[in-house]
Amino acid sequence: MDENISIVSGQLIFDLGHPGRQGVDLPAIDVPRKEDLVPAAYRRRNAARLPEVSENEVVRHYTHLSQLNHHVDKAFYPLGSCTMKYNPKINEEMAALPEFANLHPLQPEDTIQGALQLMVELSEALCEIVGLPAITLQPAAGAHGELTGLLIMRAYHESKGNPRKTVIIPDSAHGTNPASIVISGYQVVQIPSNPHGLVDLEILKKSVTEDTAAFMITNPNTLGLFEKQVCDISQVIHDAGALLYMDGANMNALMGIARPGDMGFDVVHLNLHKTFSTPHGGGGPGSGPVAVKPLLEPFLPYPRAVRKGDRYGWEAPRKTAIGRMHSFQGNFGMVVRALAYIRRMGALGLRQASEDAILNANYLRVKLQDILDLPYNTGCMHEVVFSANRQKARGVRATDMAKRLLDFGMHAPTVYFPLIVPEALMIEPTETESRQSLDRFIEALQQIDREVDEAPEMLHKAPHNTPVSRLDEAGAARNLDINYFAGKV
Ligand SMILES: *Cc1c(COP(=O)(O)O)cnc(C)c1O
């Protein structure tokens, strides 16, 4: 693996440059030198080993690195469940405005009226989109939103005298759902889906008890299917005094078409970095606002930005709040980008985005059925889940097909998830792809399907045209070694 990586990047930044070379010329220092202020015991004895490089060496190096990886600005990225839609550059321009970018989170209210107004307006827009009246912008991602929602539901049950013990999820749930349930102090009860890939209402009825705090589902679910019985589900859950949570990661299928609040959900989290086109991936900042019904509003994290007459400010303290889920207001830059997106799209534009996302997924569903198994053969929402069962019978697995797609300059779909589909290939094209790019993807998969018979060995070793070829993924995670200097100094 080491060999592989040195071939790719050529050199690390530490290998570039020349002693004494620098990228910027700084004026002579006109304040006391640090040597005069920091006691000797705390001063470094040897100079830090930093790269000595010119500005253009730095720019070329990082531009090169940015091209080794796949990203939405490079090519098609149909990673199911992740909604890798294009991030409009106007969002970046808005977030980079110095009036936003240079704010300090501790500035007094009257100096940050614009930022407060922006948070209030985004909150109102998101509430309208999900059909719920109150929201927090603090959580930093979808999973963090889940935890926030669960703690809110726990606080609600506690206020009624009994926090209850369990949260039910279907077996198609995203892995973050059970993890969040456990972290919030509840036990997970998992129920099997019915033969159509939807919640099995009869099994749900039998599973709900007085210990059930909530039922947590994704809608449309991770198979890309809309839970048609959601109103009956809501009835069953609420009759038992439990609450209904929607994992809103798949909201890209519903904007302007259907609202979780109208379906009976008490809590929903959104992923601004999925549905609302803020950047995503590589561990970068995300944002997972959580919206709730009025009965849960007292428990939302504190504080929220609110209207105060024709001004804006922080809400008055609330003793019932679950506390803070993030320092200050969460990832404010994502809030700016999401509002820029919503404003530019408008209500009809958002609806059109969801409709186009659904259309694109169904186009792939129909076109790829000749070569791939479709375990749940009905119209889908914004994503479609195939199985590579037919290919597996011929000696090639979903992972081989996914790796081979990289040779065509496309990102692979999500594989082996949802867990209930063997050899799953979960494809989410998003609305920002053209018919031509979908057709190229279809052609690539058709070619790969021919290669299953013609060149199976080549598929087992794919990818071949990428900076690194097949890596030992388990080894990379288990024997993590990211220290360049280890063993060199
Ligand atoms: C992405 C996703 C999550 C988790 O969201 P993060 O922002 O990655 O933490 C949860 N559920 C589903 C269905 C998802 O697709």
pLDDT tens, position by position, 306-328 = 999 999 999 999 999 999 999 99
Q: Which two three-digit tokens encode residue 153?
A: 């539901």
Write the residue with the smallest CA distance to atom 3 of ligand 1: 142
- Is 90 exceeded by the pLDDT of residue 280? no
Q: How far is CA 23 from CA 27, 59, 433, in A?
A: 13, 10, 40
Name the residue with the closest Cα to ligand 1, atom 2.
Answer: 249
What average pLDDT does this structure show over 117-128?
98
Say yes or no: CB of residue 221 within 6 Å of ligand 1: no
Residue closest by Cα to atom 8 of ligand 1: 142
Q: Is the CB of 331 under 6 A from ligand 1?
A: no
Span from the CA of 174 to the centroid of ligand 1 (angstroms): 7
- The CATH 3.40.640.10 portion of the chain extends over 90-344
3-state SS, residue 475: helix
Q: Which H/E stretch holds residue 426?
A: strand 424-427
Please give the CATH number for the structural domain made up of 348-476: 3.90.1150.10
User: Ligand 1 mean position to 143 CA, how many Å?
Assistant: 6
* Percentage of residues in the chain having pLDDT higher than 70: 96
Residue 14's pLDDT is 86
Q: Which atom of ligand 1 is nearest to the CA of 141?
A: 7
What's the rounded Cα separation, in Å, for the pair 462 and 456?
10
Residues of the chain with CATH 3.90.1150.10: 348-476
pLDDT of amino acid 350:
98
Write down the pLDDT at residue 48: 86
Q: What is the pLDDT of residues 187-202, one digit of tens each?
A: 999 999 999 999 999 9
Q: What pLDDT sits at residue 118? A: 98
CA dihedral (266, 284, 401, 78) in degrees, to 10, reads: 60
In this prediction, residue 32 carries a pLDDT of: 79
- Whether the pTM exceeds 0.75: the reply is yes
8 A C-beta contact, residue 247 and residue 201: no
Q: Which of 247, 278, 290 gets mutated to test ligand 1 (max ligand atoms within 8 A of its CB)?
A: 247
- Which residue puts its alpha carbon closest to atom 15 of ligand 1? 81
Domain 90-344 carries which CATH code?
3.40.640.10
Q: What pLDDT sits at residue 209?
A: 98
Report residue 481's pLDDT band, with 50, 70 and 90 as the boundaries. confident
Q: Is the CB of 218 under 6 A from ligand 1?
A: yes
Counting from 1 in the atom list of ligand 1, the atom nearest the Cα of 81 is 15
d(CA 336, CA 431): 22
pLDDT in tens, 327-374: 999 999 999 999 999 999 999 999 999 999 999 999 999 999 999 999
**Nearest atom in ligand 1 to 143's CA:** 9
